[in-house]
Amino acid sequence: MDLSTYSISSLSRRGFMLGVGATTAVAALSACGANERSAQIAGSATPTKGGMMTVLTSSTDMNWDPGRSQGMAVTSLALVHRRLTSWQIVSGKEVKVVPDLATDTGKASDGGKTWTFTLKDDLVAEDGSPITSTQIRHGVERTFTASLAGGLGYHKTLLAGTSGYTGPYQGKHLTSIETPDDKTIVFHLKAPFGDWPWIVSMPAFAPVPLGDNPTTYGRKPVASGPYRVAEYKQGVAATLKRNPKWTASSDEVRTALPDTIVFSLGQDSSVVAQRLISDSGNDRNAFGAEMVPPAHVLQVTSNPQAKSRLAVGSAGPLQYLAINVERVKDVTVRQAIAYAVDRKAATIALGGEIGASPATTYITPGIPGRQDYNLYPESTAKAQKILQGKTVGQLVLLVSNDEEMLALAQAVQQALQKVNISVKINPVESETWIEKTTQSDGSEYDLTIASWNPDYPSANANLQPLFASSEIGSGGFNLSRYHNAEVDRMLTEVAALPMNEAKEKWAKIDRRIAQDVPVVPLVYRRNAFLHGSGVSGFFVNPFPAYPNYLVVGVQK
């Protein structure tokens, strides 16, 4: 099977960007099922209906076009746009894929190459028009238009017959998407892909009415979710009001509690932290879209009242040391590096237990099928024994010139010094780092520090982007330049399986890759978010490790 079929991560770098630093994270949010919402939101009063909720964000612009979005299935965009499927996120439980506009999570045929979805009855958009399969097909097809580049694009390489396609605006349609009637949509893939139910939870699978203007739709979209964009002032605020055409009975992931949701734009993260710590006036019914800046974490945790309003995930994005296997070829040297790395020091570098927890697996916590293990527990003695008689020249550690990445690089440097491996840290601007690690021949680094948060809740989204040989260079994120034919075959075979069958097999692939040590897990970033005292239903799970806009309520 052609491995390029699964070269899907190069179309989206969102997984990388989420983990780079505490102040650069975007709001990726979570939802839980309607029948379990109130009872299973831990540590929070039962949300009530009504009132105005404010989201304080450093973003100066918000585009509501699903074709351009890199948000998860449960981001702020999901307040306005529904998709074929969504994610059910219950506090303390693994994520589940659930129906959204569709009646189920899809029916596979043709060995997993064909997926059929049926829409629920009586779905109506904000403008009063029925939501149809043709609108969903149009939503997908328009993402191939050059002016709508930049959104999550996994479907672009998975769908058959996309070569040379440039969108529907000249009347051309993809032959791989069929709409035999208004309620049925059929997708034909290049190869079997068991995670397709996750893929159709992405923004591209939201309905968009035919006749839209792609240059202006992001300002005045037609809502299918519980809220409509009532007002937008660039750089100031985006105001969402209720969409009267939405029905709660058809939607199992959105509670739609507040009457109004205001995104207050262009807010300085430090000022946001101080406002939420003070917890006065309208800020009692507000929360921050970005993580609490590291400089303010101690201030929050030393204030009992503020600390009670701090939601911290037990784990989150993986931050790791990638070893360039084309330059550090001896697997025993890579094993020694893995034993020598001090995860406690890495945790301290990110602020201690409030900032991170030690990482030992490539699959991140909260992803279905993950199994916990540690092939290389910290041991300076084991590392030194492995290195006896070996000569390891100075290793160049390329790192983005970011406070957190530099702190991790220094922790790695100090740990390797203890086993007589010299490390030279080479900090560069983030754009330069991306170019040298993802687009060049890899000749300028032996080691690099990176971060990964998968775009959807599957181990495939952890492993394929980081370790498939098809992801070396050309914008791919295989930073260790790892190429193993056996692993490529395993990734392809398991990707074709139904999700339930694939879960345990992903864990085996995780361990198999770890034997070759292309990457040393360092920490799982613990994301911390602060909210006002009037906000309820606010929690952070290991995945997606961001707060849950879709079930949050406020006091009236």
Which CATH number fits the domain that encloses residue 399? 3.10.105.10
Q: Cis before residue 544, ω within 30 degrees of 0?
A: yes
- Residue 93 confidence (pLDDT): 83
Assess if residue 450 is contained within a domain.
yes
- Helix crossing, 403-417 with 331-340: angle to 10°? 110
Assess if residue 293 is contained within a domain.
no
- Residue 468 confidence (pLDDT): 97
State which H helix or E strand residue 107 sits in: strand 107-109
- Residue 547 confidence (pLDDT): 85
Are 248 and 322 in the same domain? no
Measured CA to CA, the distance from residue 519 to residue 447 in angstroms comes to: 9
Assess if residue 286 is contained within a domain.
no
- Residue 90 confidence (pLDDT): 83
Number of domains the chain is built from? 2
Are 223 and 371 in the same domain? no
Are 407 and 509 in the same domain? yes
- Residue 45 confidence (pLDDT): 57
Measured CA to CA, the distance from residue 476 to residue 10 in angstroms comes to: 5
Please check the confidence at residue 319 and state whether its pLDDT lies above 70: yes
C-alpha torsion sign, points 196, 202, 205, 207: positive
Are 132 and 236 in the same domain? yes
Percent of the chain with pLDDT over 90: 82
Location of structure tokens 């491996």: 421
Please check the confidence at residue 511 and state whether its pLDDT lies above 90: yes
Q: Residue 494 class from Cβ within 10 Å (0-12 exposed, 13-18 middle, 19+ buried)?
A: buried
Assess if residue 18 is contained within a domain.
yes
Are 322 and 233 in the same domain? no
Measured CA to CA, the distance from residue 500 to residue 369 in angstroms comes to: 9
Contact 397, 412 (CB under 8 A): yes
Measured CA to CA, the distance from residue 362 to residue 359 in angstroms comes to: 8
Are 380 and 425 in the same domain? yes
- Residue 22 confidence (pLDDT): 31
Mean pLDDT over residues 196-205, rounded? 97
Over residues 283-302, the pLDDT tens digits come to 999 999 999 988 888 899 99
**Lowest mean pLDDT across 19-28, 129-138, 314-323, 416-425:** 19-28
**Lowest mean pLDDT across 37-46, 136-145, 160-169, 411-420:** 37-46
Q: Is 298 helix (H, G, I), strand (E, B) or coil?
A: helix
Q: How confident is the model at residue 5 (pLDDT cuts 50, 70, 90)?
A: very low
Please check the confidence at residue 9 and state whether its pLDDT lies above 80: no
Assess if residue 161 is contained within a domain.
yes
Assess if residue 309 is contained within a domain.
no
Assess if residue 136 is contained within a domain.
yes
Contact 526, 316 (CB under 8 A): yes
State which H helix or E strand residue 529 sits in: strand 528-530
**Helix intervals (H) in 292-394:** 294-301, 304-307, 331-340, 343-349, 380-387
* Nearest CA-CA partner of 117 in 27, 207, 17: 207
Contact 393, 350 (CB under 8 A): no
Residue 237, beta-bridge partner list: 233, 264
**Lowest mean pLDDT across 11-20, 138-147, 405-414, 447-456:** 11-20
**Lowest mean pLDDT across 289-303, 413-427, 442-456, 489-503:** 289-303
- Residue 66 confidence (pLDDT): 96
- Residue 6 confidence (pLDDT): 34
Average pLDDT, the chain: 90
Measured CA to CA, the distance from residue 421 to residue 509 in angstroms comes to: 29
Are 243 and 325 in the same domain? no
Mean pLDDT over residues 481-494, rounded? 98
State which H helix or E strand residue 55 sits in: strand 52-56
Assess if residue 299 is contained within a domain.
no
Are 60 and 122 in the same domain? yes
What's 140's domain CATH number? Answer: 3.40.190.10
Percent of the chain with pLDDT over 70: 92
- Specify the amino acid at residue 365: P
Measured CA to CA, the distance from residue 183 to residue 84 in angstroms comes to: 11
Measured CA to CA, the distance from residue 372 to residue 260 in angstroms comes to: 42
Over residues 469-478, the pLDDT tens digits come to 999 998 899 9
Over residues 166-199, the pLDDT tens digits come to 999 999 999 999 999 999 999 999 999 999 999 9
Are 364 and 249 in the same domain? no
- Give a three-class secondary structure readout of 367-405: CCCCCCCCCCCCCHHHHHHHHCCCCCCCEEEEEECCHHH
* Six-digit token string for 25: 């994270």
Q: Residue 297 class from Cβ within 10 Å (0-12 exposed, 13-18 middle, 19+ buried)?
A: buried
Cα atoms found within 13 Å of the Cα of residue 150, Cβ hemisphere only = 7
- Residue 33 confidence (pLDDT): 29
Are 450 and 549 in the same domain? no
Over residues 211-225, the pLDDT tens digits come to 999 999 999 999 999
Are 250 and 359 in the same domain? no
* Six-digit token string for 108: 């596979």
Are 121 and 148 in the same domain? yes
Measured CA to CA, the distance from residue 424 to residue 480 in angstroms comes to: 17
Domain carrying residue 355:
318-525
Over residues 347-403, the pLDDT tens digits come to 999 888 888 999 999 999 999 889 999 999 999 999 999 999 999 999 999 999 988
